[in-house]
Structure 1
């Protein structure tokens, strides 16, 4: 889909790809196999790989292409060619990190954003059973004879897994001043701490009896 306010606050000149600070700039060393993430995207590691890929694109000043900040320009726009080059590169970065079956499932997508959105919709739905398993593991987890630091590390790992699958919503309008997202995170951490304290107390009581 083309059109609209493509660049927001970015400055556009006759050759936007010539400015190293522009998201349209492609460094001579940028090429498809260059992407650095741990392994390939499979049916079981979307949360981790998507976070790594987003960080990689952010380091390349290209994350705005997949989050919708930079949209496809009008046909007559001066930056169309630069946008096409960047989007094709990002698309190749994304597909290079996928297993063959997953890569085949997004081959009809027209833009890198469509690829990103398609993967997100697909794996968010498929991750629901995994989220249930993690929440169940959280409720039945006990310290037993494990040292406190190891127990808390395992507890926090489960929380992080739940958060990666079902992240706490954050404000995207830029107008909120109440820091609700931060307060929700703090509330979650407080619950984790209280769960840890109560479980530790019960285990200690059990050993004394």
Structure 2
């Protein structure tokens, strides 16, 4: 499946039927359609049987199943708001909050720049903002016994990675 994502996201357009690339494109597209259909439940596979491109199938499935439920997102955010370290170890607490972050990321992914030859680095900026917010969330929810290490981490410029902060806190805990 190497280099085939362009068929799914539609960024590799179908060549004109007179092009020498047309038959190769058709062969790859049909192979990807086959992969997608084999991975679907039979009933679902029948519902996308008559699409002619992998990107059409993917778009249809995305439209049907990528709906973010307001109550679902609310519930996850509420869980994040309520989670605290309490008597848990740093490792236990970090695992708990990381699972919540992953749920948020899967239900509400960061926007990604899709322009070709992108130089705006918008996606990197979003990721940096998310990273910093999550580091702050993690540090805010720590028990008071880690106040000194938390202060030291917050004084670092630039802010460290969450992994670095985690390692510092684990060392302090020991």
TM-score (norm 2): 0.71
* Structure 1 residue 142, shift from structure 2 partner: 2.3
Residue of 144, 164, 176 corresponding to 2:119 = 176
Give how far 1:113 is off. 0.8
Deviations 1:122-178 (A, max 9, x none): 12115554333322221222222221112112212221222223221122223434x
Q: Which residue of 2 aligns with 1:113?
A: 55
Corresponding residue for residue 97 of structure 2: 155
Q: Note the residue ranges of structure 1 that are not aligned, 5 or more in a row.
A: 1-56
- Which stretch shows the higher mean deviation, 82-91 or 117-126? 117-126
2:37/2:45 contact within 8 Å kept? yes
RMSD: 2.4
Q: How far apart in 2 are the matches of 1:72 and 1:195?
A: 46
Distance 1:190 1:109 in 2: 42
* Stretches of structure 2 lacking an aligned partner (at least 5 in a row): 148-174
Check whether the contact 1:152–1:196 (CA below 8 A) recurs between aligned residues.
yes
8 A Cα contact 2:15 2:22, kept in partner: yes
CA distance in structure 2 between the partners assigned to 1:113 and 1:70 by the alignment: 10
Question: Matched residue pairs, number?
Answer: 146
1:81 aligns with 2:81: no
Q: What does residue 124 of structure 1 align with?
A: 66
Where does residue 155 of structure 2 map in the other structure?
A: none
1:204/1:190 CA distance change after superposition, 3 Å? same
Contact 1:144 / 1:203 at 8 angstroms: preserved in 2?
Answer: no
1:187 aligned residue (115, 119, 129) = 129
Matched, 1:61 2:3: yes
TM-score by length of 1: 0.61
Measure the CA separation in 2 of the matches of 1:115 and 1:203.
53
Of Structure 1 and Structure 2, the greater helix share is in 2
What is the CA-CA distance between 1:90 and the residue it aligns to? 0.4
Which structure has more relative contact order (CA 8 Å, sep 6+)? It is: 1
